[in-house]
Amino acid sequence: MFHLPFPVRDANAGSGAKGLGDLPEWDLSDLYTSEDAPELKRDLDWLEQACASFATDYEGKLAALDAAGFLDCVMRNERISTIAGRIMSFAGLRYYQLTIDGDRAKFMSDMQEKITKFTTPLVFFTLELNRIEDAHLADLLAQNADLARYKPVFDRIRAMKPYQLSDEMEKFLHDLGVVGDAWEKLFDETIAGLEFEVDGEDLGIEGTLNLLTEQDRATRESAARELAEVFGKNVKTFARVHNTQAKEKEILDRWRGMPTAQTGRHLSNDVEPEVVEALRNAVVSAYPKLSHRYYALKAKWLGLDRMQVWDRNAPLPMETTKIVDWPSAEGIVMEAYGAFDPRMAEIAEPFFTKGWIDAGVKPGKAPGAFAHPTVTEVHPYVMLNYLGKPRDVMTLAHELGHGVHQVLAAGQGEMLSSTPLTLAETASVFGEMLTFRKMLEKATTQAERKVLLAGKVEDMINTVVRQIAFYDFECKLHAARRNGELTPEDINDLWMSVQAESLGPVFDFMDGYETFWAYIPHFIHSPFYVYAYAFGDGLVNALYAVFEENPDGFQEKYFDMLKAGGSKHHKELLAPFGLDATDPRFWDKGLSMISGMIDELEAMEG
């Protein structure tokens, strides 16, 4: 099934540009000029015909092809992926700009249904590929270097071989996919339509969550209580969506014979379960020296004996409420990128000048931030909800990192460009780290340095500790759902069981916080995605340590890693840096960078 990868939330008032400068909007015309553009109709017609002729030419015949014939077949399949991806990118990006617009929602659904219908006859390709004998496939690859380039794709497809169903069943499931997507849309539309009232002001979810980072404690409390109130009123809908999605996954996993609920994610990430388990265990055992220690320090700074959930992302007392306008944000990130390597700034520049970023907060716009790669023959698009907070500058650095990575990997072509999720966060987190180091370098006072360090530690805790707690929540949720329907209270209990453990003993949890699982989109769109953030952060911390220890030639190796896209396994990509994620000590290297920053903050207290 071809569908837009969900815009993952990384980190709604009116366009809210209070002194933020001119916020850029997307120009989607590089994809299509409009939903009735003749080029779009031409591509849909081409796609329908191309899928039908592909099935006629190759179904039942894959094993008999010679190397040249097999390469033609693969390249035709890749072309189909490109055109289908282009259409769905356009439909999806328009929808995320305004999710409450009925016409945009209908257009996206119509495109999804058409493309699913056209591509159902192609399901045979992966099934037949998996029936080819290992020796025969190896022989074909040995005969043709252009075909051998696709080996990593074949390896990933063939990893699914043990879990493959009959051809007829696979086609049925492919066709049925649009029904499962309806639950995701219900989630998106429910979230985008939520209305909150805080201190007499009407807000959407993004604007309300933003208040949790306000300096005024009473405002933070009002926002947290209003979030709890509104989530509570809608909790039955969210519980229904979670129950249905988890049950659908359980049925699919059972039919496929997947040993665990997480197996499918590990396979698509091209990562070994034991590597994820080592990461998870390293982080959980580090909770006391990371989050517990940091939040105890933060409570002291805030003058509190006990922390409440609305204090978790509070600014520090010595922090001035600073609004960073858009030109300044662009300048900070571009300077950091350029200082690392001028080529990096050069790749980032068109995002700002050619309508590749949609930055403003608007009613009905999807929450969060993402970089969508679209297709390799076009370019990525970045979405932000920019409110001018220093943290928003880091989000810009993060998403731009994704964008640079996607531009560099595009040279691999459609089937090899997309990076497994575990490595997809590398360039984004590295971009944040470069921006943070540049801002730290410019800090003129101890207080400014403290605020920056604390902010970075909080971001890392949100990326590592919080996401691993999310992962544990999902593991518990999917395990519990196997024993039957979960009430909202059941899900609430699972949520609270991971929150206290990860945040630490200094926290109290207000009534209503137990429903805060409801708004996290990853749980619905990409089950078990969340550990990729912790993987990416640990990886980047280890990479950055290598860069600091030995900067000579680092840039070349780094660019080569990004250009590789999905053409290499994480072991192969990290080898030039002397790193190995399968080594249990690898994760400690990354986590010790965070605890080192907390050491520095504690020393400032002296």
CATH number at residue 64: 1.20.140.70
Task: Give residues with Cβ within 8 angstroms of 549, minimum separation 6.
Answer: none
E strand spans, 84-232:
196-198, 201-203
pLDDT of residue 18: 65
Same domain, residue pair 317 and 419: yes
What share of the chain in percent tops pLDDT 90?
Answer: 73
CATH label of the domain that carries residue 451: 1.10.1370.20
- Please give the angle made by the CA atoms of 12, 17 and 19, to the nearest 5 degrees: 145
Dihedral of CA 103/109/111/114: which sign? negative
Residue 367 has pLDDT above 90, yes or no: no
Longest dimension (CA), the chain: 75
Q: Is residue 74 part of a domain?
A: yes
Please check whether residue 213 lies inside any domain of the structure: no
* For residue 490, pLDDT beyond 70: yes
Residue-wise pLDDT for 222-260, tens only, equals: 999 999 999 999 999 999 999 999 999 999 999 999 999
My answer on whether 321 and 184 are in the same domain is no
Is residue 218 in a domain? no
Verify that 180 and 280 share a domain, yes or no.
Answer: no
Q: Which residue has the higher pLDDT, 192 or 178?
A: 192
- Are residue 179 and residue 288 in the same domain, yes or no? no
Average of per-residue pLDDT across 181-198: 92
Whether residue 206 lies inside any domain: the answer is no
Residue 178 is predicted with a pLDDT of: 77
Q: Domain ends where: 176, 193, 210?
A: 193
Q: Is the pLDDT of residue 321 over 70?
A: no
Please list, in sequence order, all residues whose beta carbon lies within 8 angstroms of the beta carbon of residue 352, skipping any fewer than 6 positions away: 24, 330, 334
Higher pLDDT, 147 or 451: 147
Same domain for 307 and 450: yes
Confidence band of 12 (pLDDT split at 50, 70, 90):
very low
Given a contact cutoff of 8 angstroms between Cβ atoms, the answer to whether 345 and 338 are in contact is yes
Indicate whether 221 pLDDT > 50.
Answer: yes
Confidence of residue 606 (pLDDT cuts 50, 70, 90): low
380 or 317, which is more confident: 380
Structure tokens that stand for 158 in this block: 């063939």
Do both 406 and 525 map to the same domain? yes
Per-residue pLDDT, averaged over 362-387, amounts to 93
Residue 281 and residue 181 share a domain: no
- Residue 598: pLDDT band (50, 70, 90) is very high
Residue in the structure block whose two tokens are 């499931």 = 173
447 in any annotated domain: yes
Whole-number pLDDT of residue 167: 84
Higher pLDDT, 251 or 367: 251
Question: Are 290 and 419 contained in the same domain?
Answer: yes
What domain count does the chain have? 2
Per-residue pLDDT tens over the stretch 466-488:
999 999 999 999 999 999 999 99
Specify the pTM: 0.82
174 shares its domain with 282: no
pLDDT digits (tens, 9 = 90+) for 88-129: 999 999 999 998 899 999 999 999 999 999 999 998 998 899
Domain around 475: 275-354+389-605
CA separation for the pair 63, 133 (Å, rounded):
9
What pLDDT sits at residue 251? 93
- Contact criterion met (CB below 8 Å) for 160 and 126: yes
Pure H helices in 530-584? 531-549, 554-563, 570-574
Average pLDDT over residues 165-178: 84
Could you read off the pLDDT of 260-300 as tens digits, one per residue? 999 999 988 888 999 999 999 999 999 999 999 999 999 99
Mark which of 177, 193, 209 sits at the end of a domain.
193
